[in-house]
Amino acid sequence: MKRTTLIGAGVPRPDAIDKVRGEARYADDLAFPGMLHASLVRSPHPHARIVGIEAEAARSLSGVVAVLTATDVPGDNIVHVIVDDQPALAEGVVRYVGEPVVLVVAGTRAEARAAAAAVHVEYEVLPFVADPLAALEPGAPLVAVPSAAEGGNLFNRMVLDKGDADRAVADAVAVVEGVYETGYQEHAYLETQGAVAVPEELGALCVYGSMQCPFYVQNAVAKVLGLPLAKVRVVATATGGAFGGKEDVPSLIGSLAAIGAWATRRPVKLVLDRAEDVLTTSKRHPSVVRYKTAADADGRITGIDVDVVLNAGAYQTLSSAVLWRSLVTAAGPYRVPNVRVVARSVATNTVPNGAFRGFGSPQVIFPHESQMDLLAERLKIDRVEIRRRNVLHAGDCTSTDHCVASSVGVAETLDRAADLAHWPERLASIDAHNRSSSETRRGIGVACVLYGVGLGGKAPFLDKAGATMKLEPDGSVGVAIGTVEMGQGLTTAVLQVAAEGLGVPLDRVQLAPVDTSRVPDSGPTVASRGTMMSALAVLDAAAKLRERIENVAKAHKIPKREIADRLPEIAHHFWIENLDPAVEGFASTEPVSWDPATGLGDAYPVYAYATHIAEVEVDVRTGETRVIDYIAVHDSGRILNRALATGQVEGGVAQGIGFALMEGIGVRDGHLVVNGFTTYRIPTIRDVPLKPIVDFVEDLFPAGPFGMKGIGEVPLMAAHAAVARAVAHATGRRLTKYPLDPPRVRALLQEEA
Ligand code: MTE
Ligand code: MOS
């Protein structure tokens, strides 16, 4: 497709003004006549039997309209995500601290909270398990989720088996091994989870809320109310950040609000406060990952043998999808002929974990990039050079034996990042610094990543999207799509594509709020697929409408080059002549073939790549790490909007710095030790590099919109690893556990090298 002025341009976000003025309407800003407020009674125990619920005192409090338990759920008491194992309201047993047990609905939020505090639930405490490795031991307390393997706590076990990994290890010139652990990461979106359910005419219900996946919420709410899908409408309100945290959880929040609204026949709002949100909603899966990497004398990887364990928490939610990413990403962006990966997700009595930017891949990227550096050290090869010798090129096959013909720009990202960093000179200047300073030590780290865009072989049926487009009689164009703006810039990019596809100015095109009743199921806004897939659907619609516009123009002797300027006149002809001005667009990815038994096949329609280089300075006395310089080069195919793509990279780098250096949550007696943002530390402006260099290699994806292939999650994935490797370089220590916070780094520095 030809390149024109709109594609790639740093067009300003149309949603920015409302957001900075505080005028955007988030879930908690919505109000409806007669609206009630909901609050939850939650489990105080990691595992317990519910003996009795005493709600009379709560019912008699002022303002209380309903006190609802599992038996009041009109449809199935199930929050439908991937497998149906999680109740909307606990039934007979609670399996994690914070699990919803009773839903209280009252006139005001304060009344609802007071009434929730007055509900008395009697529990018989049961043995619990919070650690995933302990949960796999024989005789461990059983979380007893119906979806776990018989008699145990195993949720999912997946295998990737290619060639002969044992033989590769036995025959290798160099083998490096490590066990790596990562902890919780909280999404820390600015807007907490929230939804408003509103009964509508003709026996229908609408759920408004903060979410990534309106069609997931529609499905979940229909199930829980026992309604046909067509009676449930879901509208995604302005969403104040999500990062994967609003992929599965809104299905629970929306279902609870809907249960309240259906019971009371009035609009019901449920909004979590910050401490409640941090304690009770999904996070990044903590992991324990073992790696063996084998290589020949030139540093070419001959095999990997990997074991992944993820702590799934008390219900499966998205764990199988997250685990699948760990499995198929374990080899990174490298050619590896012999691969064995065994990946397990394990039930524990802790909050169910879910999606977080990167979906199970950061848990294997920290290890695979650490292993690359260990190999480099062992074989005395430069760290950039060893990556150069192993990265995939067009025509190579990934670890799953997916042979990728084009749009493989990883080598170019590596070369460009190394150039921008002046890698050899930088190594020398860092050496010089470290020789002259006894107070600080500097280090530089490099990390390369691959990321499969979309749902791919795990859920090919979700890789589709719809769009509608309507030419109004005045020449403006209304567009509707089914994926969500959550800060990543999708609205702007999709509008650019719509205007470009139609050949009309940007200000002619308006995007409608996402509403499941306007467009076909467009899959979830996840896996860095949202912008790409909706842009494809919009392009399909634009091509159809453009053809009709051209026909009308031709009939009225309007030359093609004048169409953009004379669109109002053309639109008027549509109206006067009773011509159909509305079209539908649809897009789906090429079918992928992937075999769950061997883990082999075309895992994804396409992969995005990146190389990041971070320079850090570690304070030897305090163990504190500062990121002092940063270079990020991405191949996400065509960049639709350079300013927004750069923003995605900078934001992802900040989140990656947080993951590597400071974020984490302890668990004591089955309780997460955290109380909102006072005890959960995330990076501030003082913790991020002030002048990161961000650059793009545009190795076009032929089936993408204008060659684009998704960028959203990739920056975080590369960033934490680059930072961790820089800390390893600075300290000269093996690093095996996140976060690399001051106490841990101080302790490492005190160890013998
Ligand atoms: N950027 C912002 N500002 N806010 C977000 O919530 N989510 C990330 C990423 N970037 C997120 C974000 C995640 S987890 C995904 S999957 C992608 O955006 C989704 O956007 P896309 O598919 O439209 O790129
Ligand atoms: Mo992003 S974790 O795929 O929502």
Please report, for the chain, the start and end positions of each structural domain, with discontinuous segments joined by +: 16-23+464-588, 31-126+193-271, 287-456+596-750
**Ligand lying closest to the C-alpha of residue 210:** 1
For residues 723-728, average pLDDT? 98
Nearest residue (by CA) to ligand 2, atom 4, is: 244
* Residue whose structure tokens are 């003004």: 17
Pocket test for ligand 1, best of 187, 246, 511, 528 (most atoms within 8 A of CB): 528
Q: How confident is the model at residue 591 (pLDDT cuts 50, 70, 90)?
A: confident
Does the beta carbon of 528 sit less than 6 angstroms from any atom of ligand 1? yes
Q: Choose among 526, 527, 570: nearest CA to 547.
A: 570
pLDDT of 276 strictly over 60: yes
Q: Choose among 230, 248, 252: nearest CA to 73.
A: 252
Q: Choose among 296, 289, 292, 327: nearest CA to 390.
A: 296
Position 1 scores a pLDDT of 41
Determine how many CB atoms are found less than 10 A away from the CB of residue 679: 13
Atom of ligand 2 nearest to the CA of 712: 1
Residues 6+ positions from 644 with CB-CB distance below 8 Å: 10, 13, 488, 489, 492, 493
Q: How confident is the model at residue 465 (pLDDT cuts 50, 70, 90)?
A: very high
Pocket test for ligand 2, best of 246, 359, 361 (most atoms within 8 A of CB): 359
pLDDT of 49 strictly over 80: yes
Indicate the CATH number for domain 287-456+596-750. 3.30.365.10
Our CA dihedral for 582, 584, 585, 590, rounded to 10 degrees, sits at -160
Nearest residue (by CA) to ligand 1, atom 9, is: 712
Residues 6+ positions from 597 with CB-CB distance below 8 Å: 159
pLDDT of 135 strictly over 70: yes
Determine how many CB atoms are found less than 10 A away from the CB of residue 377: 14
Determine how many CB atoms are found less than 10 A away from the CB of residue 157: 12
pLDDT of 4 strictly over 80: no
For residues 245-264, average pLDDT? 98
For residues 190-218, average pLDDT? 98
**Ligand lying closest to the C-alpha of residue 483:** 1
Atom of ligand 1 nearest to the CA of 528: 22
**Ligand lying closest to the C-alpha of residue 652:** 1
Q: How far is the CA of 596 from the centre of ligand 1 (A)?
A: 28
pLDDT of 753 strictly over 80: no
Q: Is 209 exposed, middle or buried (0-12, 13-18, 19+ CB in 10 A)?
A: buried
Tokens of 4: 């024109």
Strands 232-236 and 671-673: unpaired
Report how far residue 368's alpha carbon sits from residue 390's, in angstroms, rounded to the nearest whole number: 12
pLDDT of 22 strictly over 80: yes
Q: Do domains 16-23+464-588 and 287-456+596-750 have the same CATH topology?
A: yes
Q: Are 505 and 568 in contact (CB under 8 A)?
A: no
Tokens of 477: 């164009």
Atom of ligand 2 nearest to the CA of 358: 2
Tokens of 168: 């590769």
**Ligand lying closest to the C-alpha of residue 488:** 1
Q: How far is the CA of 183 from the centre of ligand 2 (A)?
A: 18
pLDDT tens string 633-668:
999 999 999 999 999 999 999 999 999 999 999 999
Q: Is 31 exposed, middle or buried (0-12, 13-18, 19+ CB in 10 A)?
A: exposed
Give the phi and the psi of residue 107 in degrees, each rounded to 5: -65, -40
* Count of H-run helices and E-run strands, the chain: 19, 27
For residues 389-414, average pLDDT? 97
Position 596 scores a pLDDT of 86
Does the beta carbon of 46 sit less than 6 angstroms from any atom of ligand 1? no
Report how far residue 743's alpha carbon sits from residue 547's, in angstroms, rounded to the nearest whole number: 64
Q: How far is the CA of 488 from the centre of ligand 1 (A)?
A: 5
Instruction: Give whole-number Cα distances, 389 to 335, 361, 726, in Å.
Output: 9, 22, 21
Atom of ligand 1 nearest to the CA of 242: 6
pLDDT of 150 strictly over 90: no
Atom of ligand 1 nearest to the CA of 187: 6
Q: How far is the CA of 693 from the centre of ligand 1 (A)?
A: 21
Atom of ligand 2 nearest to the CA of 242: 4
Q: How far is the CA of 201 from the centre of ligand 1 (A)?
A: 34
Three-class SS of 114-128 = HHHHHCEEEEEECCC
Q: Choose among 209, 248, 258, 249: nearest CA to 74.
A: 258
Position 458 scores a pLDDT of 86
Report how far residue 748's alpha carbon sits from residue 743's, in angstroms, rounded to the nearest whole number: 9
Q: Are 175 and 613 in contact (CB under 8 A)?
A: no
Does the beta carbon of 713 sit less than 6 angstroms from any atom of ligand 2? yes
- Compute the C-alpha angle 284/287/289, nearest 5°: 145
Tokens of 716: 């975080």
Report how far residue 199's alpha carbon sits from residue 205's, in angstroms, rounded to the nearest whole number: 4
pLDDT of 593 strictly over 90: no
**Ligand lying closest to the C-alpha of residue 244:** 2
Q: Are 320 and 155 in contact (CB under 8 A)?
A: yes
Q: How far is the CA of 359 from the centre of ligand 2 (A)?
A: 6
Nearest residue (by CA) to ligand 1, atom 19, is: 528
Does the beta carbon of 625 sit less than 6 angstroms from any atom of ligand 1? no
Q: Which stretches does DSSP call E strand in 296-392?
A: 301-313, 338-347
Does the beta carbon of 446 sit less than 6 angstroms from any atom of ligand 2? no
Position 3 scores a pLDDT of 44
Atom of ligand 1 nearest to the CA of 239: 6
Instruction: Give whole-number Cα distances, 28 to 105, 190, 276, in Å.
Output: 16, 13, 15
pLDDT of 515 strictly over 90: yes
Q: Are 665 and 672 in contact (CB under 8 A)?
A: yes
User: Residue 628 is which amino acid?
Assistant: I
Position 2 scores a pLDDT of 46
Q: Topology of domain 16-23+464-588, per CATH?
A: Aldehyde Oxidoreductase; domain 4 (3.30.365)
Instruction: Give whole-number Cα distances, 645 to 44, 436, 505, 577, in Å.
Output: 43, 39, 22, 43
**Higher-pLDDT residue of 597, 369:** 369
Q: How confident is the model at residue 457 (pLDDT cuts 50, 70, 90)?
A: confident
Q: Is CATH 3.90.1170.50 the right assignment for the domain spanning 31-126+193-271?
A: yes
Average pLDDT, the chain: 97
Does the beta carbon of 525 sit less than 6 angstroms from any atom of ligand 1? yes
Q: Are 290 and 178 in contact (CB under 8 A)?
A: yes
Residues forming beta bridges with residue 634, ordered by sequence position: 610, 696
Nearest residue (by CA) to ligand 1, atom 3, is: 487
For residues 273-296, average pLDDT? 98
Position 751 scores a pLDDT of 86
pLDDT tens string 685-716:
999 999 999 999 999 999 999 999 999 999 99
Does the beta carbon of 356 sit less than 6 angstroms from any atom of ligand 2? yes
